[in-house]
Chains A and B, each alone.
Chain A
């Protein structure tokens, strides 16, 4: 079954200008897809539409076969774990443990089940020892890992990573790359870094000015110099 299916998606800014126009694609379970495109191409808008935070002017988004609308947004978005570019935006609870528990607790998980979910998620990103710490006392790499644990605790079908390399030193970046390679979930990687995309993904979606200009093997993008320059990817 498709994890995400997008058909004829259009999103308009308040002025009526299209941020996304006629975007269609689907992502199957276990796929690793890079979402590429220059600044302002509509990547973040697309991601927020997938999660039903933004509602499209036209077209549909389906998550695990269910149509995303106001009514189902709450139930459906738990299947897509979005990790934000700046972990500071995502780690808002007083301690790491509380933060990782935030998602599952919102979906009614409590008691021992909640503790188990939190422990499992923290162990998955090797951050068990950070449980009692306050988010603002963590290093960049630690914050990123904890932010990933926060969505893993919700047991999502897919992870959507928005520029996971930002703010990381090379060692931190290697840790995150290794971790992402190791996770079994379907992966959508939003990035400007072609080398990171190459390590993690085999398929690429390229957005430019709100339109999908490529959907296919990532190699085809990487090996086409003219295409890279035309769409400001290199």
Chain B
């Protein structure tokens, strides 16, 4: 009953307002409903499978891609969407494109260009693993809101301090960005232009005062925590445990990936 009222209230406000980060895609798919720590564990298991697959086993990478495609399908995410989000990996894998040219001998001729055999293998290996890894991460981010990912991490026994630091970072990134924005405006209205050596000095002092402001805010936040009874341990107010069925549903696909990796090593 309470749940129904809650959903009604939730649908009354616009969906974009509700969601805590831009990577999340609103939905009610089985992948969305899975407890977050199961999803985080699934991501980890899948990645372990991908990185331990020998690079010569092309078929195994095909199988990993198929696993990812099934998972994306379950999450009701489309191929164009996935590809668009995965473009984020481009800057990181760019250097892989140089490996065939710079790698050691022996070399082979492809269309009249001499390429390093080892470099080609290296490039393929980086590209394939990074693409699969990015795809899986995009899937997690699209089906899980940031607060849930944080809860998931702490349920997986990631040290509370680390989870708290990650949480504070997410929470205060916008606040700090706003502060930086105001400082830049204040500099601009007094004729500041981002050029020359003077600009560098001004930017350094902006960075310095941003640090001091962040530090002072940290002190105020700590005081606000202490007055509400904080004694060094972050409470986990509403943790609901995952049932066995959640685990088997969530880990089914990643375990296929691990099986593929094991087979690829043995064959």
- Chain A interface residues toward B at CB < 8 A: 48, 51, 53, 74, 77-78, 80, 82, 84, 86, 88-90, 92-95, 97-98, 101-103, 105-107, 110, 114-115, 118, 128-129, 131-137, 150-151, 154
Contact = CB atoms under 8 A, between A and B. Distances in A.
A101 B170 contact: no
Given A48-B223, A51-B227, A154-B228, 20 more contacts: A82-B224, A84-B220, A86-B220, A90-B224, A92-B167, A92-B225, A93-B167, A93-B171, A94-B146, A97-B237, A102-B235, A103-B229, A105-B236, A118-B237, A129-B12, A131-B6, A132-B6, A134-B20, A136-B174, A154-B229
A114 B237 contact: yes
Contacts of B229: 74, 77-78, 103, 106-107, 154
6 tightest CB-CB pairs across the interface, nearest first? Answer: A106-B229, A94-B147, A105-B235, A101-B237, A103-B228, A134-B20
B17 interface: yes
Contact of A92 (B12, B171, B237): B171
A88 B250 CA distance: 36
Nearest to A84: B224
A114 B225 CA distance: 18
A98 B171 contact: no
Nearest to B146: A94
Contacts of B174: 136
B154 to A, nearest CB: 11
Contacts of A90: 221, 224
B150 interface: yes
Nearest to B170: A94
Contact of A53 (B6, B10, B167, B223): B223
A150 B167 CA distance: 18
Interface of B: 6, 9-10, 12-13, 17-18, 20, 146-147, 150, 167-168, 170-172, 174-175, 217, 220-221, 223-231, 235-238
Contact of A106 (B20, B224, B228, B238): B228
A144 to B, nearest CB: 14
A89 B10 CA distance: 26
- B10, B221, B227, B231, most chain A CB atoms within 10 A: B227
Nearest to A119: B2
30 contacts: A51-B227, A53-B223, A53-B226, A74-B229, A78-B229, A80-B227, A84-B224, A86-B220, A88-B172, A88-B217, A89-B217, A89-B221, A92-B172, A92-B221, A92-B224, A94-B20, A97-B237, A98-B147, A101-B235, A101-B238, A102-B225, A102-B237, A105-B235, A114-B237, A129-B9, A129-B10, A131-B6, A132-B18, A133-B17, A150-B228
- B12, B150, B228, most chain A CB atoms within 10 A: B228
- B6, B175, B226, most chain A CB atoms within 10 A: B226
Nearest to A151: B228
A94 B167 contact: yes
Contacts of A105: 235-237
B224 to A, nearest CB: 4
Nearest to B230: A106
B228 A89 contact: no
Contact of B9 (A82, A97, A114, A128): A128
A39 B146 CA distance: 39
Contacts of A95: 20, 147
